Amino acid sequence: MSDQAERLRRLMQQNTTDSVPLPLREGKKSDVRARVLGWASGKGGVGKSNLVLSLAYALSDGGGRVLLVDADAGFTNLALLMGEGSAPDLMDVIEGRISLTEALVRTPGGFYYTSLATTLETYVATEDHAKTVQLESVLRQLEAWGEIILLDFGAGLSALARHMLAAVDELVLVITPEITSLSDAYALYKWLYRIRPELPVYVLINRAQDEKEAEQMYTRFSRIALSHVGGAPKYLGFVREDPHIPQAVRRQMPFYTAYPRSPASRDIRHIRARLSLAWEMYEAQGGADAARGGMRGLLERLKELVRRGEGWL
């Protein structure tokens, strides 16, 4: 391991909450590939949408150009959590009703937001080749709107959404201390590991009582995964149980802006720091395969997975 990687590894262990600069990929504008970070869970309702929304604000605060995409087929929870009644959908772009620029909403946090919610389902149903080509073109163009693309997947994953999940650059698996959440996440991880063992997966423990409980949960998960699956995800950290989150939901605001000093917001800043360090470490080890990343990389892998007809669990 290089000195830099060793230094970063030590920083990761120190639970730092200091602001860490985001290591963004360099290159000519047209070559830059975004980092596509998927958010998933086994069981639904574990906090993905709330966490990813607040993290988008935190990453944007830290200087990242963020694009947040609702990929929860059929639902547009992210728009509701931001106080927006309806969200433009990329399907409207594909069908020519609005332009791509109109489908991208600038949020008060300075980052962009759009929805794939109905698009994914239509893509599965369509046999219209022209529409498929159009969808691919729209997805590719998203790259210009963010260096960090956060995809929030719902709990009820369609076959295509599952394949898309497996095709991202990196995946965050959200788990709560409930046994059902742990076992469902394990089933998802097992499937992901079988079809794409090289996918970097991070575990985030949500609704933990404290750091100790979160670490115990992660250790339990990774031990089972290591002995039964052959690989284990990395630990991204935790967000504690915090009544400010449901309060913010009621106000239709992200908890990070509604209650910036709440314990959950502090935890989100911590997650941002750990994510930045993980990315920096990844780059330092020369592991980033930028040429296969971003939305273009995702589409290539998605097509490959659909062609292979990978089953589910």
Q: By CB under 6 A, is residue 54 in contact with ligand ATP?
A: no
| Of 160 and 284, CB closest to ligand ATP | 160
301 binds, among Mg ion, ligand ATP, none (CB under 5 to 8 A by kind): none
Location of structure tokens 């509604």: 258
| Of 53 and 275, CB closest to ligand ATP | 53
Q: By CB under 6 A, is residue 288 in contact with ligand ATP?
A: no
Taking contact as CB under 6 A, which single stretch among the options 37-45, 55-63, 108-116, 157-165 is the one that binds ligand ATP? Answer: 37-45
Q: By CB under 6 A, is residue 65 in contact with ligand ATP?
A: no
SS3 64: coil
Residue 14 is classified by DSSP as: T
What are the respective helix, strand and coil percentages of the chain, to the nearest 5?
A: 50, 15, 35
Residue 172 has phi, psi (to 5 degrees) of: -105, 125
299 binds, among ligand ATP, Mg ion, none (CB under 5 to 8 A by kind): none
Q: What is the amino acid identity at position 303?
A: K
Please, which residues have CB within 8 angstroms of residue 293's CB and are 6 or more apart in sequence? Answer: 25, 33, 34, 35, 36, 169
| Triad 134, 136, 138: Cα angle to 5° | 70
Q: By CB under 6 A, is residue 72 in contact with ligand ATP?
A: yes
**138 Cα distance to chain centroid:** 19
The pair of structure tokens assigned to 308 is: 């292979």
46 binds, among Mg ion, ligand ATP, none (CB under 5 to 8 A by kind): ligand ATP
Identify the CA nearest to 69 among candidates 90, 51, 83.
90
143 binds, among Mg ion, ligand ATP, none (CB under 5 to 8 A by kind): none
Taking contact as CB under 5 A, which single stretch among the options 34-42, 75-83, 90-98, 202-210 is the one that binds Mg ion? Answer: 75-83
- For Mg ion, the binding residues (CB under 5 A) are 48-49, 77
- For ligand ATP, the binding residues (CB under 6 A) are 41, 44-50, 72, 77, 154-155, 206-207, 239, 241-242, 245-246, 249, 264
